[in-house]
Structures are given as structure tokens and as C-alpha cells.
Amino acid sequence: MDSSLFRLSTPTFTLPRARPSLSYKRIHCQREKVAFDEAAFEAERLSLDAKDRETMMAQSSSSSNGGDPKAWKWVIRKRIWDTMEALNIAQNPRPVHHRIPNFVAASTAAKNLSKLKEFGVANCVKVNPDSPQKQVRFLTLSGGKKLLTPQPRLRTGFFSVLESHMLAPSVIYEACTSVGVAKYGRSIGLDEKIKVDLIVIGSVAVDPKTGARLGKGEGFAELEYGMLRYMGAIDDSTPVVTSVHDCQLVDDIPVEKLLIHDVPVDIICTPTQVIYTNTCISKPQGIYWDKLSPEKLGKIRILRELKSRIEQETGQKLPCGPSEKLPPSAPRRR
């Protein structure tokens, strides 16, 4: 959600890294010993995703009717989702509403992305877990690069790392799915020493002239970006790329209305073109705690751990954002 983020620490303040907690080590060891239940994992993921999409549906409806200053974002998102469905550009999972939309020729956009010099020289690529970027994840792994991908909605953890040498060639494609990431990936924590050379981010709409981007409205891409900044894994020079359909290119995202946590993109790859935006929009410097609602914090364990760690190390209480009254869930379609 757009109000979820903001500042982690001042740019000149470096925090010492704490060791992983004993509980984390125990959980990690237990996970390695217990057989992975693919069916149970996927069933739970789909159920939770459905609930979250229902909440977003209610939120977008409430924003449109209640004078929300961010309502303009939902207008653009809905226009793109409606267009993709009406023109049959949308691919499964459908409907694409309240998702990073999968689209026809997503694999062609991914191929164009893989030809970028920035991709070619990258050793570690962070890729979002959504369907239209599945081929990007495959090309990352099959190209011998390290793949860093977030666990869905940061519910159960943080990021997972996969490398081709960890995998049999026959399972690389499976490893690019949500189930495969959970099955074959190595979970990492905030203390992982990692350098990310390229960020691939999903979008609902993006402006090729400014690099302004809209996601699906939950703010997880911004949270992930902020935490990677905390870890020292990325900085302002780390390229941010998105792969979208040409119909997702827009010219009506008002830059002056963007919030400080909104992540701009440097490069756009579509099935037909590659666009360098030369964006002038500043990139977020971390997590902006004064905008992070207690409700959002309560849903994401890794954020609670990070907040507790910073407060213990600094001896200072971090600010908290305003309470976020979540809207009631929309009726589930049968």
C-alpha cells in the first residue's frame, strides 16, 4: 500500500550487523529436515493471495469513493487492467486486476531484457516473483547468475537465493515458480553479505519519459528495495528495470504526486522496444518508518525484526506511521 513506507535511517548512520538469531537458525535447520509439501504450500499461497486481492479490491473501491489523495493511482491501474482484459492481452492468472499483470509476449520482453548490457555484466539479479517475470528468472538462472527473489508478500520470510550450480538442469524451470523458490531456494536474512547488480521489478503502468512507475498498490517492491538499501546490497547506481507490455506505457503519472518511497525505473523492456528513461526521480534511501502503519508492520515479520534490531542497537525508539484501517474484504467471486 502506498502509505506503507519510508525512512529507515539517516544516510550517514551505519548500523552494526547483528548475528542471525538462534531461532532463525533453528527454523532454517528444521526446514531442511522436513520434507517440503508442495501441495500444501501452493494451496496456502493461493488462499492468502486471494484474501489479499479481495482486500485490495475493497481498498481501491474505497479510495475512489472517499477522496483518497492516492485515488489517481487506482484510476490508472484500473484503466490498464481493463484494457489488457478487453484486448485479450492478459495471460493467466486472470483476471489480471489487482496483480502485476501477466501479458502476451512476456517471454519476448524478457528476452529483450536479457540482451541488456546491464543484465550481461550482472552477477546477482533481484527479480520480483510475479508471473510475467518468470522467464526473466529462468534466463537469470540458466545464464549462470545468482537469482535473488522475495518470498511472496514477505509473509514467511525475506528473500531466497538460487544459483544454477545448486540445481539439476531438469529443475531450473520449476525453480523459477513460487513453489520452486520455496523448494529449492536458500533463505537469507538481513545479515547476508550480498551485492545486487540489477533489480527487475514488476509494474502495472510506467511512464517511458520520466521512469515513474505504479505497482499493484501493496508497496512490497518498495519495502524490498528499502531493506536491500539497509543491507548495503544496492545503492542509487543499481539499475532498476521493468518488463511490461507496450499498452502499459502511459504518459499521465504526475511525478509531483509521487511519494518519497516510490521506486522509479531506469530501463523499460517491452516485447517491441527497450527504453532508457534517464529518470530524474530520486530513489528511496531506505524504509520510512514514520509512514509505516502498525497494521502493515504486524503482517511482516522481517520488518518487525528489523525495527526491533535498530531500536536495540541505537537505544532509540523508531517512529511509527498512522494507523491504517484496512477496508472490509470484498465478496469472493464464486
Q: Set out the domains of the chain in order of their start, with CATH numbers.
A: 69-287 (3.40.50.10420), 289-322 (no CATH)
pTM for this structure?
0.79
Cα 147 from chain centroid? 14
CA angle 101, 106, 110 (to 5 degrees): 120
The three cell numbers locating residue 143: 545464464
245-297 pLDDT tens trace? 999 999 999 999 999 999 999 999 999 999 999 999 999 999 999 888 888 88
Of 2-6, 44-48, 78-82, 135-139, the least confident: 2-6
Task: Report whether 229 contacts 8 (CB < 8 A).
Answer: yes
Alpha helix positions (H), the chain: 22-33, 38-65, 71-86, 106-114, 117-120, 134-142, 178-184, 220-231, 294-299, 301-314
Q: What is the overall mean pLDDT for the chain?
A: 83
Q: Write out the H or E segment, with its range, that includes residue 177.
A: none
